[in-house]
Amino acid sequence: MTLTTLDWAIIVLYFIISAAIGVLLSKRGSRSVNEFFLSGRNLPWWLAGTSMVATTFAADTPLAVAGLVARNGIAGNWIWWSAGAGSMLTVFFFARLWRRAGILTDVEFAELRYTGRPAAILRGFRALYLGIPINCVIMGWVNLAMAKILAVTLGWDRLTAVLVSLAITGIYSALSGLWGVVVTDFFQFAFAMAASVALAYFALSLPEIGGLTGLRASLPDAAFAFVPDFGAMTLQETATFATLPLASFLAYVCVQWWASWYPGQEPGGGGYVAQRMMSAKDERHSLLATLWFTVAHYCVRPWPWIIVGLASLVLYPELTDKEAGYVYVMRDHLPVGWRGLMLGAFFAAYMSTISTQLNWGTSYIVNDFYRRFLRTDATDAHYVWAGRVTTIALMMASAVVTFYLESIRQAWEFVLESGAGIGLVLILRWYWWRINAWSEIAAMVGAAIGYATLKTFTSLAFPDTLLIVVAWTTVCWLVVTFLTTPESDAHLIAFYRRVRPDGAGWARIASAAGEPAPVPASRMLLSWVAGTVFVYAVLFGTGRALLDNLAASLPYLAVAVIAAWVVARDLSKRGWRSVTD
């Protein structure tokens, strides 16, 4: 890709704005640990929610989506579309509870919900496990994507690309803490979305493509199916790409969304999503932030990426690295000026994700390990300093991990498989008093043993391994739960009074505390179903409007309007508990 002076000016301007935000907010982030990691618990819903969706819009995401489309058609996106139900579960069942908990990280929840040495072990282990190896794998695949982009567009080798990208991001993340991250996220998300739409427009305008009509004519119908067409593909379609297998589709839509831990889509919330919920002004802002994140994540972002992925199939049918097809379209077919904007957009997507991962992982290491077990009596200034040092250390570790990864999908599948089966215990710990610290420990150990065993002694591949590990892990933690002692009633009562979880699973504790019976969790099921229907109706309605015509999208949009009315009606009746921390 040849960059002109105009292209370079756009890229440099982007970096100046991002760096300026970090410097301007560095003083605010230095005030306390609470400011550095949670923005003083004062984020409005639109800023917290946009920060969530900007984080999931990483440099790897457009490439991964293009690769999925090139291999399995539009239906290949069910590997991540399936998580829509889980995201809506977080909106209605968990967002308010995370804000009420009043903790600094989701790992700290271990010693809020449980007691004694098992709780401390769980907290310390999760802090180091999620904060270092898992976090570095996540940053590694994002680094890998950025390295691919810079290799194709500028001819940089992987080492140069990773070091330059990480150095810029690490500096402003270490300076400003979460305030700098979320404010920069807002700017970066708008920048990256504008460029994504522009790339889709220019791709469709190419004579080789001929607009959406020409794109439809150039590819088999099965490529445009929203649900895999099992067993009905023609020879031409089979030669073009492989349909998503039935077993994979069922694993995604029936199991993966509630059973596996994955960044941004953790069952019951967690990770940086929980961090943003806990950073919100109050529980209302927490719920609305997560709702906006879910809608933007599934309804606003995907179609420009999908269109470019389909175009890359036509333009580069023999390309071996399908994920790189997105970058080739950008390199070969963007006009002057737009090249700089698109490359700046990839830096924006990359930086929004890496900055969040650095701040999130650092919060675990500093708050839940260093502050909890090693240096318990230092000042806030000391912990902020420790956070900045840890941020730089994590940045360097992720650079090393990058060189051991070959594909983005490979890393995605590793995280999904290695965390398979722990999702249910992460959900039920909020809604069933009988869950204890050993339940979570057993789930984590069971998942690791199951994953390692299958990879060592069998040739099974994802998602077949997912189903087996989920079943094994679930049996492990259920057996351990009933063989170990529950938490004391005194501790469970204190937790119940602080968080006020709903559902029959806390009826015994509410009675022991002399409190009114919990609100039935079933009251939130209608909103969850309606919210999930809304997301998929808007997603598919937008697709039909783009790929077919407006008339084809009207039934989907009508369903979306009804579902939105149901959700709005529920929220208007909901009581919001005041929180002051």
Q: What is the full DSSP assignment across 17-42?
A: HHHHHHHHTHHHHTS-HHHHHHGGG-
3-state SS string for 122-153: HHHHHHHHHHHHHHHHHHHHHHHHHHHHHHHH
Residue 420 pairs in a beta bridge with 260
Beta bridge partners of 280: 43
What is the per-residue pLDDT for 236? 47
CATH hierarchy code of domain 1-22+44-406: 1.20.1730.10
- Separation of alpha carbons 446 and 428, rounded Å: 17
Tell me the mean pLDDT in the region 216-235. 76
What are the boundaries of each domain within the chain?
1-22+44-406
Rounded Cα distance, 27 and 123, in Å: 30
For tokens 């209608």, the residue is 526
255 backbone dihedrals φ, ψ, rounded to 5°:
-125, -50
pLDDT, tens only, 269-305: 878 888 889 888 888 899 999 999 999 999 888 999 9
Q: Dihedral of the CA atoms 89, 91, 93, 94 (nearest 10)?
A: 110
SS3 content of the chain, % helix, strand, coil (to 5): 75, 0, 20
CA 547, CA 426: separation in Å to the nearest integer? Answer: 39
* Average of per-residue pLDDT across 518-543: 91
pLDDT digits (tens, 9 = 90+) for 32-65: 667 667 777 888 999 899 988 888 887 778 888 8
What pLDDT does residue 580 have? 45
- Amino acid letter at 502? D
Could you give the CA distance from residue 336 to residue 342 in angstroms, rounded to a whole number?
11
| pLDDT tens sequence across 300-333 | 889 999 999 999 989 988 888 787 888 889 888 8
Distance of CA 394 to the CA centre of its chain: 19
480 vs 403: which has the higher pLDDT: 480
> Which residue type, as a one-letter code, is found at position 572?
S
DSSP 256-313: IHHHB--TT--TT--HHHHHHHHHBSSHHHHHHHHHHHHHIIIIISHHHHHHHHHHHH
What CA–CA distance (Å, rounded) separates 170 from 168? 6
Q: What is the pTM of this model?
A: 0.86
More confident residue, 168 or 455: 455
